[in-house]
Amino acid sequence: MPEISRRTFLHLSGAVAAASTAGLPHPLRARPRRTPPVVVASGNGLRGVEKAYRMMTEEGADPLDAAIAGVNIQELDPADQSVGLGGLPDERGVVTLDASLMHGPTRRAGAVAALEDIATPSLVAKAVMDYTDHVILVGKGARDFAIRMGFKPQNLLTEQSRRDWLAWKTSLNARDNWLEWPDAAAKHTDGTIHMSAVTAAGDVSSVTTTSGLAWKIPGRIGDSPIVGAGQYCDNATGAAGATGRGEAAIQSCGSFLAVEFMRQGYDPEDACLETLRRVVAMTEDRLLDEQGRPQFGLSFYAVHKDGRYGAATMYEGPQFAVASAEGARLEPMAFLYPND
Ligand code: ASP
């Protein structure tokens, strides 16, 4: 076990004192989380963390290559309507994708935003990192670049996502020219996959990829393609990433902040919780309820380069995916607010 620094000890004591009112600390906190190598992801990344972990431990894969291979599973799965192929489209019915990534050992980054027709924006972001002197390409430029790099364009709008879009479109306004579908079901409008990985050598990488907010205004991008917001990685410390309301992760520089909190000595779970507290403090009044709680969901995931890991979410409920020597599994997330 590592020595607990005075700062961490004081911080933990404070968290214990706050536990009775804030629902913290989460019971799992007492369990030591220090088993490098390790991969963490949002809850939809269970298959992905298992793959990434296996690649790193059995094939000696680079942590970024492993994490990208992990998120590729969701990007290429038409049933995951929050990422890649089958992602829910914007208000016109056009699927646009965002992704960013960072490679700890080389301190490099790549990203694409508002990318159309390419199912694996994480790999296009990697190509931006590997083959250009830039960090972000957007829109048509990103698509043209991807095609020049050999990616094959395809229609990303699946029949299910098209029907969901149409159901949303026709139920918007009773006085427009669309006839409503009586059985139109409300559909979730967000989702993303984030994955962070640390190897046995303590090398760290992170990647986040998404189709963004469903039915978004064309041109809107969220936090996922923004380095420091949707993900961040510093090989001297660790990596973090976000899912949920992207605007809040952007306004707080959330993933950068979570890594900075780890650099200051916070445990990964505490770093995520502290970041959420900052998000709340930075939230506009119009997005707060009568009790001062944000009216949106947001989650952070973090790994320390020493193999500790953790995650936290605004409201009790979601789980996150972890793969370590103990296998791949879903674990409950710490949270700021219990569900009442
Ligand atoms: N963070 C994503 C975005 O704002 C959406 C999500 O994770 O739910 O685009």
Return the domain boundaries, the chain.
Answer: 34-157+189-335
Give the pLDDT of residue 73: 97
In the structure, which protein residues have their CB atom closer than 6 angstroms to any atom of ligand 1?
190-192, 210, 212-213, 222-224, 243-244, 246
Across residues 106-113, what is the average pLDDT? Answer: 98
Nearest to 304 by CA among 119, 103, 79, 34: 34
User: Is the per-residue pLDDT at 257 higher than 70?
Assistant: yes
User: Is the per-residue pLDDT at 1 higher than 90?
Assistant: no
CATH class of 34-157+189-335: alpha beta
Give the pLDDT of residue 173: 84
Kindly give, in sequence order, each residue whose CB lies less than 8 Å from that of residue 276, ignoring residues fewer than 6 positions away: 298, 300, 312, 313, 314, 336
Query: Exactly one of 96, 192, 237, 283 is catalytic; which is it?
Result: 192
Give residue 4 CA to ligand 1 midpoint distance, Å.
35
- CA 267 to chain CA centroid, Å, is 19
Give residue 114 CA to ligand 1 midpoint distance, Å.
13
Task: Compute CA distances 51 → 195, 205, 251, whole Å.
Answer: 12, 15, 33
Residue written as token pair 């939230």: 283
pLDDT tens for each residue of 42-95:
999 999 999 999 999 999 999 999 999 999 999 999 999 999 999 999 999 999
**Which band of pLDDT confidence, cut at 50, 70 and 90, is reported for residue 339?**
confident
Give the pLDDT of residue 8: 37
Substitution candidate for ligand 1 out of 44, 98, 190 with most atoms within 8 A of CB:
190
DSSP per residue over 58-100, as a string? HS---HHHHHHHHHHHHHT-TT-TTSSTT----TTS---EEEE
Who has greater pLDDT, 11 or 132?
A: 132
Give the pLDDT of residue 304: 97
**Which band of pLDDT confidence, cut at 50, 70 and 90, is reported for residue 135?**
very high
